[in-house]
């Protein structure tokens, strides 16, 4: 029997085939899960429909801007109707205004700070609250973080502060939802060349830096992130909650 057969899941954050969310979704589907997908705004709808069409299963595809409570409610109402129960949720969503991802952190505006935290951190709380009532058999919720949450990474700026919040939200949610056998974890991924990453000034240098300095002397692949997402979704991770798992070629252990 496949690792996730009989499980249902919802995936937030597929923009295109390079999205980390897509890598994890494929791993979940290959392991037997039935999935629903969301997208933000009409701009991405066709992309997501085309990708999801290649999966060989009929998946609900639902519009959801994670900053809008009414869209979150509608998403989980639709999910309840289609799946009844939910086992897995992937939060792979982040945004900060581009001008906040260059220059000095000191100059972060109140509005850029608010937007970055709303989209990238608070949304995990809102989505977990909506998902939990459907996770009647327990569940696994996971988000995507980055090392800039704990150390200064030039240009990552307000996104690093939002990721620190995301990681703290993960721990508090893990505590609240533990009695319902719902686990909440983060994957802290090394840099991957995606749409969101290209918004960070100096991103190409980041890739080179990891290649030169991480213990494994290379960058992480999308398939490897998919495999970690599958592990966290599976029974193998049944006693793991509230954690940040580094999937970064070991870069996080380095002092210099």
Binding of ligand NAP by 247 (CB under 6 A) = no
Catalytic residue among 147, 156, 246, 251: 156
What is the nearest approach in angstroms of ligand NAP to the Cβ of residue 156? Answer: 10
Within positions 93 to 132, which residues make up the interface with ligand NAP, using CB under 6 A?
93-95, 119
Binding of ligand NAP by 191 (CB under 6 A) = yes
Total residues in contact with ligand NAP, by rule CB under 6 A: 27
HSE-up (13 A, CA, CB side) for residue 128: 28
What is the nearest approach in angstroms of ligand NAP to the Cβ of residue 6? Answer: 27
Contact call for residues 38 and 29 (beta carbons, < 8 A): no
When binding is defined by CB under 6 A, the residue of 65, 102, 150, 176 that contacts ligand NAP is: 65
Contact call for residues 59 and 37 (beta carbons, < 8 A): yes
Within positions 2 to 21, which residues make up the interface with ligand NAP, using CB under 6 A?
13-15, 19-21
146 among known catalytic residues: yes
- State the Cα–Cα distance between residues 166 and 103, nearest whole angstrom: 23
Q: Mind giving me the DSSP string for 206-244? A: HHHHHHHHSTTSSPPPHHHHHHHHHHHHSGGGTT--S-E
175 among known catalytic residues: no
Query: Please, what is the angle between helix 20-30 and helix 222-233, to 10°?
Result: 50
Q: CA dihedral in degrees (148, 207, 20, 12; nearest 10)?
A: 40
* Locus of tokens 């940040």: 244
When binding is defined by CB under 6 A, the residue of 29, 161, 192, 245 that contacts ligand NAP is: 192
Known catalytic residues are: 146, 156
Binding-site ranges for ligand NAP (CB under 6 A)? 13-15, 19-21, 40-41, 44, 65-67, 92-95, 119, 144-146, 189, 191-192, 194-197
């Amino acid at each position: 029997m496949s690792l996730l057969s009989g499980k249902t899941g919802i995936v937030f954050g597929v923009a295109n085939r390079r999205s980390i969310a897509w890598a994890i979704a494929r791993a979940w589907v290959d392991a037997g899960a039935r999935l629903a997908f969301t997208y933000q705004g009409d701009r991405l709808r066709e992309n997501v429909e085309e990708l999801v069409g290649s999966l060989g299963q009929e998946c609900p595809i639902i519009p959801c801007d994670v900053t809008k409570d009414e869209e979150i409610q509608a998403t989980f109402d639709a999910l309840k109707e289609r799946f009844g129960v939910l086992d897995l949720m992937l939060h792979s969503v982040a945004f900060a205004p581009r001008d906040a991802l260059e220059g000095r952190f000191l100059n972060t505006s109140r509005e850029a700070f608010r937007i970055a935290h709303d989209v990238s951190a608070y949304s995990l709380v809102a989505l977990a609250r909506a998902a939990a009532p459907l996770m009647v058999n327990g569940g696994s919720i996971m988000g995507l973080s980055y090392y800039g949450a704990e150390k200064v990474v030039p240009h990552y700026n307000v996104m690093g502060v939002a990721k620190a919040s995301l990681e703290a939200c993960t721990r508090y949610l893990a505590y609240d939802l533990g009695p319902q056998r719902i686990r909440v974890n983060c994957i802290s991924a090394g840099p991957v060349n995606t749409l969101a990453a290209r918004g960070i000034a100096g991103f190409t240098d980041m890739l080179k830096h990891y290649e030169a300095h991480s213990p494994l002397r290379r960058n992480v692949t999308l398939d490897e992130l998919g495999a970690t997402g599958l592990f966290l979704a599976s029974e193998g991770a049944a006693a793991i909650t509230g954690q940040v798992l580094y999937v970064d070629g070991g870069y996080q252990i380095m002092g210099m």
